[in-house]
Structure 1
Amino acid sequence: MARRKLYHYQVSEQAENVIQAGKPLYSEIKGKWNSLYFKKEQPIVVELACGKGEYTVGLGKKFPNKNFIGVDIKGDRIARGSALATEYQLDNVAFLRAGIQYSDEFFDQGELSEIWLIHPDPQVRDRDEKYRLTNPDFLNKYANFLKKDGLFCLKTDSDFLYEYSLETIGNAANFEIIEHTGDLYESHLLDEHHGVKTHYEGIFTAKGYTIKYIKARLI
């Protein structure tokens, strides 16, 4: 293992704002994020596949009246977000190191107000549809975690994932699409990403890719 990656794993193990296997809250946190971790009753927003946590931290800075959780399986990635949240002294930001397929072990029914999915792997091969984070099975998971009228928001540079998600979300009995655009930066919806741009989004836009956006509501 590279020395830098090992260092980031150690950061995750020691950081108070990272919940992962081996830490007491890991098996106790479901349904109790506000009471056991944040210690304040505020709407909970989750970013799935958060990577380095840039979006989670960015939203946490902008909305101190909400609690934010970044979820990713890669400990070396979330360690960077953890360190950044600590640097900014954000007590409304936490990270969960876990696979999204196991998210029902950590979030209870109706516990979340919003779920964000920012530039996930589109998984374009047909045989990988089960890994697409907007497939019907995952959407049903999200619907269980969200409060009524809770929001599910997707940003992607992938035309394929955008069109696929418009179809799957549009066909879902428990969601309705409120807004969507194939070019967020040229849309009236631009303010809805709150001025937070991840490192990879900067790369995508510099290469001329348009950013797509879908906002759906639990019904």
Structure 2
Amino acid sequence: MSTGPSFPPLMQGINTAGADPFEAACSEAAQGCDAGTILYDASPERLRAAIVLAPEVALSDAAAMVPLTGVALQNALGALGPSEMPVHLCWDGPIRVNGGLCGAVRGATDTQDADAEPGWLVTGFELVFARGNLAGGETPDETDLMSEGCGDLTPVDLLESWSRHLLNWISRWEDEGMGPLHTEWAGLAYGMGKDGTFLGKNGHFLGLDEKLGLLLRADGQTMLLPVTDLLEIRS
């Protein structure tokens, strides 16, 4: 008899069986489900997962859970995938494996007030394992894990590893503050020091502020895009 994924203590899983785990997590969170609930949909083609969180800090601090989710995923891929496979995180969500788009991280919450403590926060990701029979060069900016040498990696293995790394990073964030997460994320940032477009704004990616907001230089001025701008607001 098949069993579901194994998660760390204080985390529990719900298989959405083809439904969007992120949307399901937002719905469950709004209805008051337990923090630590992981909703997931794992298939040979892709892994989608989301977790319900209840951070007891202002949204401006809690929004760090979005980049933290990406860091945990990168760490899981680093532990289970080929040692030479580069995984980088785009500030606004996309995940790049060996330079190609391979997935994305996202987040949602129930308030727009950066100074308020959110009632709930959901973060999640999607990662492509296999794209089917694509002709060479058909999607040159996209990739999948199978194409990058992860033939022995299963979606469930990655889901379990992600949950463990996620719990570890949340514990470090609670105990040590933003410093370790800032250092780790900066080392994984895609496009830092280069020109790019972020949330519809063009400029030079200078770096990150202390809360992982993006510092963008454009037209001789530096603007800050806070991590809270990445969050989808749900009523």
User: Do the structures match in fold with TM over 0.5?
Assistant: no
Q: Which has the larger radius of gyration?
A: 2
Give the TM-score, by structure 2 length: 0.29
Give the TM-score, by structure 1 length: 0.30
The structure whose residues are more often strand, as a share, is 2
The structure whose residues are more often helix, as a share, is 1
Which protein has greater RCO, CA pairs closer than 8 Å, 6+ apart? 2
